[in-house]
């Protein structure tokens, strides 16, 4: 059992793996997806997602592409949004909650969770990559070893983008007045060390992770900082 004075790690993983419908669809179509969890029954995975984009037409095209993918079994929209959809701060003017059923063997979820990588926020999929923020009770060396095991099992490309201690509750600012996109940009910047000196990553790195332009990210941060600092 981990002693109370020790903490785990919070890790951001940038992932590609073969035969994944989310990666194939987002590589070819604009917009992106947030994954809110997967359940499996008899070899089929059923996952809840939020599709997002700059317009309704973009989201329509993305959902159509998901339905047309040979790697999906079915896709349907959620008639009544759940809390996970309402809280998902997708970067886009249009969003839609969907449920997708697909072959479990094409999901990397079990390979990650079985090695102690526990999702700590919705999984992002855009531009043909998946971005997982996970917590794990392991050292950095053990994280690298587990990542290598996932890569071997799934024939995947897994890049460790950021590692920090999984401490929470320190130095929290009230962000009630921020828009959803401003709040997400600001909180992600704080978690990734953007406001630390020396900076652990650049604005371009943050923008890539969120799937937006650098100019859009900086505008969200500027507005958030103005509200928080008065």
What residues pair up with 103 in beta bridges, in sequence order? 44
The per-residue pLDDT for range 145-191, each reduced to its tens digit, is: 999 999 999 999 999 988 877 664 334 455 567 777 787 888 888 87
Q: Please say whether the dihedral angle defined by the alpha carbons of residues 157, 210, 162 and 200, taken in this order, is positive or negative.
A: positive
Tokens representing 126 are: 């855009």
The per-residue pLDDT for range 38-53, each reduced to its tens digit, is: 888 888 899 999 998 8
Per domain, the residue ranges of the chain are: 9-163, 171-229
Span 200-218, average pLDDT = 85
pTM greater than 0.75: no
Over 90: is that where the pLDDT of 21 sits? yes
Write down the residue that tokens 């999906």 correspond to: 72
Confidence band (pLDDT; 50, 70, 90) for 74?
very high
Span 196-205, average pLDDT = 76
Give Cβ neighbours of residue 104 (< 8 Å, ≥ 6 apart). 40, 43, 44, 45, 110
- Give 223 or 72, the one with higher predicted confidence: 72
Q: What is the pLDDT of residue 194?
A: 79
Write down the residue that tokens 């903490």 correspond to: 7
Q: What is the pLDDT of residue 198?
A: 65
Over 80: is that where the pLDDT of 228 sits? no
Q: What is the CATH number of domain 171-229?
A: 1.10.10
Instruction: Report the chain's mean pLDDT, rounded to a whole number.
Output: 83
Angle (CA) 155-157-45 rounded to 5° is 65
What residues pair up with 32 in beta bridges, in sequence order? 52
State the Rg of the chain over Cα. 18
Over 60: is that where the pLDDT of 6 sits? no
Over 90: is that where the pLDDT of 129 sits? yes
- No. of helices (H) and no. of strands (E), the chain: 8, 9
Helix ranges (DSSP H) in 6-120: 21-28, 56-68, 83-87, 109-113
Q: Which helix (H) or strand (E) holds 118?
A: strand 118-119
Cis status, amide bond into 198, omega within 30 of 0: yes
């Amino acid at each position: 059992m981990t002693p109370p004075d020790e903490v785990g790690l919070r890790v951001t993983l940038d992932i590609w793996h073969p035969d994944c419908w989310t990666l194939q669809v987002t590589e070819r179509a604009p917009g992106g997806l947030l994954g809110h969890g997967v359940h499996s029954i008899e070899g089929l995975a059923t996952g809840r997602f939020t599709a997002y984009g700059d317009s309704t037409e973009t989201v329509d095209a993305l959902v159509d592409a998901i339905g047309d993918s040979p790697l999906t079994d079915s896709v349907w929209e959620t008639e009544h949004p759940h809390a996970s959809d309402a809280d998902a701060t997708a970067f886009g003017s249009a969003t839609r909650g969907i449920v997708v059923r697909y072959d479990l063997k094409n999901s990397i979820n079990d390979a990650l969770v079985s090695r102690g990588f526990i999702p700590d926020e919705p999984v992002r999929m855009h531009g043909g990559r998946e971005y997982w923020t996970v917590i794990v009770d392991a050292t950095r060396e053990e994280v690298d070893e587990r990542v290598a095991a996932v890569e071997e099992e799934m024939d995947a490309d897994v890049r460790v983008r950021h590692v920090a201690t999984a401490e929470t509750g320190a130095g929290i600012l009230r962000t009630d007045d921020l828009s959803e996109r401003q709040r997400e940009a600001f909180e992600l910047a704080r978690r990734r060390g953007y406001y630390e000196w020396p900076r652990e990553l650049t604005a371009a790195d943050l923008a890539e992770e969120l799937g937006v332009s650098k100019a859009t990210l900086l505008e969200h941060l500027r507005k958030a900082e103005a509200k928080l600092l008065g």
